Amino acid sequence: MNTLEKRLLNDFQRDLAPSPTPFADMAEELGVTEEAVIGGLRTLTERGVVSRVGPVFRPHRCGASSLVAMTVPEARLEAVAEMINAFPGVNHNYEREHRLNLWFVITADTQGHLQALLQHIERQTGLATLSLPMLAEYHIDLGFPLQWD
């Protein structure tokens, strides 16, 4: 990983001010061009180091969201996960070693739209969803300083 890629991963984990030109702002801080920042992020994404570049909003400040669990037969797990991943509001999709073995977070613009998406997922997969909306908010800072050799 080159120096720019390391700085992109480490320096912008949090506290990036809202801006119509975030990549240009990052470039200015790093002393490089906006194109270099975009290229570096693209490379990190293509290598699978970064899965998503974008803002994280506090829950229920913009739209609706829920943690969702499903019981999926092992033979269908990969296919069902791919179906669910196709929905633009789905993130944090992962397998767990439990009867409820597929978990994901889904977001939508309204609670009604969220419920409609869950119903659509149930119809498409033929499987029930268990929606577990957040009742209390806890802030967990997932940013951490990266160490490089």
In 21-138 the beta strands, taken as DSSP E runs, fall at 64-70, 90-95, 102-108, 130-132
Given the residues 60, 92, 98, 120, the one annotated as active site: 92
Q: What is the C-alpha separation between 107 and 65, in angstroms, rounded?
A: 4
Q: What is the C-alpha separation between 121 and 6, in angstroms, rounded?
A: 38
Cα–Cα nearest to 90, from 108, 63, 71, 77: 108
Active site residue 92: yes
Q: Which residues are catalytic?
A: 92
